[in-house]
Amino acid sequence: MKRIVIIGSSGGNLYNLGGKDPQKLLGEIRTQAESAGFEIAAIQFVAAQGSMDSAGKETSSAVYSWDEAAGAPVISFTGTLEECNQHVRSTDEQWADELRNGRVDGLISMSADPNRANEQIIKAAVEKKIPIVGTGGTSMALISAKGAHVILTSGTTGTTNRTRAISFVTAFAKHWGISYRPMIGDTKLAGAVSDSPWKRINIRGIMMSSLPGFIALALVLALSKIPGLDMLSGVFDVLIKALPVVIAAIAAKQVSDMEEVSVVAGVLAGVLSMDGGIIGGMIGGIGAGLLVNVLFRKCIEWKFPTTTVNIIAGGVSGLVAGLLVYYLLAPIALQAGEWVKVLIEGAVSYSPILAGLIAGLLIWPAIIGGVYHAAILPIVLLEMEKTGNSFLGAVDMVGLVMVSAGITLANIISPRDKSEATVATPGFLINMGFGTFVEAAYPFMFSNKMVFAGAIVSSGIAGMMVGVFDVRGTAYVPSVMAPLLSNNMLGFIVAMASGLICSLIITLIANQIAKKKNVRPTEENVSA
C-alpha cells in the first residue's frame, strides 16, 4: 500500500476555495486516497482564521494532524500563526526521516512553506525523488526550483476540494500504475467506458430538487395580481425563462457531483437550453454532467494543470451540451412539453368534473404505489412552467394534503386510542402549515379499511370540485396561502374544504365503529 503525507496551509487564494474548512478539504483527500488504496501516513496542515494574504503572526490558527486510530484529520495544536508554524517545524524533521527511510511514497503539498515550516520534509523529498503533487502557484514554483520530482502542479484558481483531491490521487495512480476510479458520494466515478454516470440520472430527484423554483414562480404570479404590484408580471416572465437553468444546474450536479464545476456546466447548458423549456434544460443538464466526468478524467490523464482541468470540465462541458440542445433538441423538447399540456387541457376541456374526479380517485393509489413523484409531479411542473399553477397541482392540494389533514384532525378530535392523537397532531400541523407530509395519514389508513376507502372517496370528491370550479393551483405551500396562488380563490377554498371535511367525517365514523367493536367484548365479560 502506497503511503502519502499531506503538508501545507489554508493558503491565500486556497482559503477562499476550501482552505477555510480544513476538515472538508482534508476529508476529501482521505476519501479519494482510500478509493485508490493509498494510506495517509501523516498530515502537517496549518489552518489560519483568515487568508494568508492578510494574516499576520498573531492570527489565530490551528495545526491539523492525522489520527491513525480514528482514520481522520484532527486538531493537534492551536495558537497564533507563528506558534503553529513553530509547532510544525518541530515535527518536520521527524517526517523528513520517514521519507529518507523509505516509509513514505508520495507527498501532497497545498500552499506549503518550503523555506521554513516545511523545509526539512521538502529537502528529504528532493533527495529521495519522492513524487510530489500540489497546488499553490508560488509554493509549487519554489518546490520545483529546489529540484523536486513534481508530477502535478497547479494554482488554486478555479479548483474545488473534490477536483483537487481527484487530481492529486489520479496523478499518483498514473505514476505508480495503479487502477483508480474517483469516489463520488457512495459510488466511484466512472471512466469513459463505464455506465456508472448514467445510473446517477434520476428524473424524480431532479424534479423534486427543482420544486422550490416552481413555488417561487407561483408566489410571484400571486403577488402580481395584487393591485399596485402588477409590475411583477415582468418578473414572472423572467422566472419562467430561468426554470430550465435551475433544472439544468441541478441535473448536472446530481449526475456529476463535482461540486462547483458541475454547477457551472449545468448553468451554461441551461442558459443555452432555455428555448427547450424544462425538458430541454434537463437534457442539457444531464448531458453537461456526463461530459464533466469524461473531460475531467481525460484532462487529468493528459496532465493538464488542475485549474485548466476545471475550466475545461466545467466550461466546455456546459457549452457542448447546451449547444446540442440549442441547435438540435430544443424544438423537440419544447414540443414534448406542449404535448403534456395539450393532453391535460384536452381532458379538462372534455369534462373538467370527470377529469377532476378521476385524478382525485387515482392520486392516493399513485402516491402509495410510488408513481406520484415519478410521473405526476413532473407533469405538475410542466403545467406550472406554462402558467405558474396546475390542474393536477390543485388536485394534489385538495386530494392529498387536505384529505390527510382531515384524517389526522379526526384522530386528534376522537382517536380510537389516546396515543393516536399524539401521532396525528404533528401531521395535521405540517399539512396545514406547509402543504406537505401527506404520509402522516398512512398509519390510520393502513390500520382501518374504512379510513383508507374514505381517503380515496374524499379525494375523488375534492378533485371533482376542482373540475367544477376549473381550478389551477399548487401544493407544497401553507394551506392559507394556497388559494392566493390559484386562478380561482373561492373555488379552491371550496375544493379544499370538501376534501378536509369529507375525510374528517368518514374517519370520525370509522373511529367510532372501531371503538364499539373494542368495547363490546369487554361489556359481555362484565355481564357474565
Residue 149 is placed in which grid cell?
Answer: 520530482
* CB-based contact 325:287 (threshold 8 Å): yes
Rounded to 5°, the CA angle 146-8-74 comes to 150
Angle 203-224/232-256 helices, nearest 10 degrees? 170
Residues 207 and 167 in one domain: no
Mean pLDDT value of segment 507-526: 71
**Residue 155: inside a domain:** yes
Residue 374's pLDDT band (cuts 50, 70, 90): low
The pLDDT tens digits for 259-301 are: 788 899 999 999 999 988 888 999 999 999 999 988 888 887 7
**Residue 191: inside a domain:** no
The pLDDT tens digits for 143-166 are: 998 999 999 887 777 678 888 898
Arithmetic mean of pLDDT over the chain: 86
Residues 11 and 106 in one domain: yes
**Residue 52: inside a domain:** yes
The pLDDT tens digits for 226-253 are: 778 878 888 888 888 888 999 999 999 8
Residues 386 and 468 in one domain: yes
How many separate domains does the chain show? 3
Mean pLDDT value of segment 447-468: 94
- Chain mean position to CA 378: 17
* CB-based contact 30:72 (threshold 8 Å): yes
- Please determine, for residue 398, whether its predicted confidence score (pLDDT) is greater than 60: yes
Amino acid at 399: G
Contacts by residues 233-238 (CB-CB < 8 Å, ≥ 24 positions apart): 236/388
| Among candidate residues 501, 483, 502, the one with its CA nearest the CA of residue 492 | 483
Residue 508's pLDDT band (cuts 50, 70, 90): very high
- Please determine, for residue 524, whether its predicted confidence score (pLDDT) is greater than 50: no
Mean pLDDT value of segment 170-199: 67
**Residue 488 domain boundaries:** 351-522
* CB-based contact 96:76 (threshold 8 Å): no
* CB-based contact 401:475 (threshold 8 Å): yes
Rounded CA-CA distance 411/13 in Å is 58
When mean pLDDT is compared over 207-221, 257-271, 384-398, 451-465, the highest value belongs to: 451-465
**Residue 527: inside a domain:** no
**Residue 251: inside a domain:** yes
292-322 b/e with 16+ CB inside 10 Å = b?
Answer: bbbbbbebbeeebbbbebbbbbbbbbbbbbb
Where a domain ends, among 336, 366, 390?
336
Residues 123 and 148 in one domain: yes
* CB-based contact 108:133 (threshold 8 Å): yes
Residues 320 and 412 in one domain: no
Rounded CA-CA distance 206/204 in Å is 5
Rounded CA-CA distance 52/189 in Å is 33
- Please determine, for residue 357, whether its predicted confidence score (pLDDT) is greater than 90: yes
Rounded CA-CA distance 161/217 in Å is 34
Residues 381 and 240 in one domain: no
Residue 296's Cβ-side half-sphere holds a number of Cα atoms within 13 Å equal to 32
Residues 159 and 35 in one domain: yes
Strand order in the sheet with 106-110: 72-80, 60-67, 39-48, 3-9, 106-110, 131-135, 149-154
Q: Are strands 106-110 and 131-135 parallel, antiparallel or unpaired?
A: parallel
Q: Which residue has the higher pLDDT, 195 or 18?
A: 18
**Residue 16: inside a domain:** yes
**Residue 319: inside a domain:** yes
- Please determine, for residue 463, whether its predicted confidence score (pLDDT) is greater than 50: yes
Residues 321 and 240 in one domain: yes
Helix H or strand E encompassing 263:
helix 260-272
When mean pLDDT is compared over 25-34, 192-201, 249-258, 496-505, the highest value belongs to: 496-505
CATH number at residue 57: 3.40.50.2300
Where a domain ends, among 180, 208, 223?
180
Rounded to 5°, the CA angle 91-93-99 comes to 110
Q: What is the pTM of this model?
A: 0.66
Helix H or strand E encompassing 151:
strand 149-154
- Please determine, for residue 167, whether its predicted confidence score (pLDDT) is greater than 90: no
* CB-based contact 306:152 (threshold 8 Å): yes
Residues 16 and 85 in one domain: yes
Where a domain ends, among 336, 360, 377?
336
Angle 449-468/489-527 helices, nearest 10 degrees? 160
**Residue 341: inside a domain:** no
Residues 292 and 360 in one domain: no
Residue 228's alpha-carbon distances to 196, 223, 231, 233, 253, in angstroms, are 52, 10, 8, 11, 39
Amino acid at 368: I
Name the least confident of 225-229, 239-243, 370-374, 397-401: 370-374
Mean pLDDT value of segment 470-477: 86
Residues 51 and 145 in one domain: yes
Question: What separation, in Å, do the N-terminal and C-terminal C-alpha atoms of the chain show?
Answer: 79
Q: Which residue has the higher pLDDT, 211 or 58?
A: 58
pLDDT for 504 equals 96
Residues 175 and 202 in one domain: no
pLDDT for 157 equals 73
Mean pLDDT value of segment 301-311: 79
Q: Report how many helices (DSSP H) and strands (DSSP E) the chain contains, helices first.
A: 21, 9
Place of cell 496551509: 9
* CB-based contact 391:466 (threshold 8 Å): yes
